[in-house]
Structure 1
Amino acid sequence: MLAAMLCMGFASVIGGASGFGTALIATPLMLLAGIGVTEIVVVNIVVGLVTRIAATYQLREHIDWHRVALLGGASLPGAWLGILTVNMLPEQYLKPAAGVVAVLCGALMALPTAKEPAPPSRAANIAVGTIGGYFTTTTSMNGPPVVLLLSRAKLPPMNFIADLAGYFIVTGTLSLALLWIYTDVQPISMWPLLSGCIAAGLLGNHLGMWIAGRIPAERFRTGVIALVIGAGVLTIVSAQF
Structure 2
Amino acid sequence: MELIAIAAVCMAVASIIGGATGFGTSLMATPFMLMAGIGLTETVVINLVVALVTRVGVTVQLREHIDWRRVALLGGASLPGAWLGVETVSMLPEQYLKPAAGVITVVCGLLMALPGSTTVRPPSTWLTAVTGVIGGYFSTTTSLNGPPVVLLLGRAKLPPLSFIADLAGYFVVTSIVSLALLATGTTLDDGALGPMLAACVVAGVVFNQLGIAIATRLPTHVFRSAVIALVVIAGIVTIITA
Distance, in Å, in 2 between the alignment partners of 1:10 and 1:83 is 27
For residues 108-165 of structure 1, the C-alpha deviation after alignment (integer angstroms, 9 at most, x for no partner) is 4544554243221111111111001001111111122112112222333333222211
**Which of 166, 169, 174 is residue 169 of structure 2 equivalent to?**
166
Corresponding residue of 2:231: 231
Task: State TM-score, norm by structure 2.
Answer: 0.86
Alignment partners' CA distance in 1, 2:178 and 2:228? 22
Residues 202, 238 of structure 1: CA spacing in aligned structure 2 closer, same or farther, 3 A cutoff?
same
**Which residues in structure 2 correspond to 1:167-182 (within 5 Å)?**
167-182=170-185
What amino acid does structure 1 have at the position aligned with 2:81? G
Offset at 1:68? 1.1
1:90 aligned residue (84, 88, 93): 93
Q: Give the drift of 1:77.
A: 0.3
Q: Which deviates further from its counterpart, 171-180 or 46-55?
A: 46-55
Instruction: Say whether residues 1:120 and 2:110 are aligned partners.
Output: no
Q: Comparing 185-194 with 16-25, which one deviates more in the overlay?
A: 185-194
The within-5 A match list for 1:1-241 is 1-111=4-114, 113-185=116-188, 187=190, 190-212=193-215, 219=220, 227=227, 230-241=230-241
* Structure 2 gap segments, 5+ residues each: none
Aligned residues: 238
Would the alpha carbon gap of residues 36 and 95 (structure 1) be closer, same or farther in structure 2, given more than 3 Å must change? closer
Local SS of the residue matching 1:120: coil
CA–CA distance in 2 between the matches of 1:160 and 1:236? 29
CA deviation map 1:22-53 (0-9, x unaligned): 11111111122222222211111111110111
Identity %, equivalent residues:
60
Deviations along 1:64-87, whole A, 9 cap, x unmatched? 222111111110000000011111
Q: d(CA) in 2 for partners of 1:215 and 1:161? A: 19
Q: Distance in 1 between matches of 2:235 and 2:111?
A: 18
Separation in 1 of the partners of 2:198 and 2:74? 28
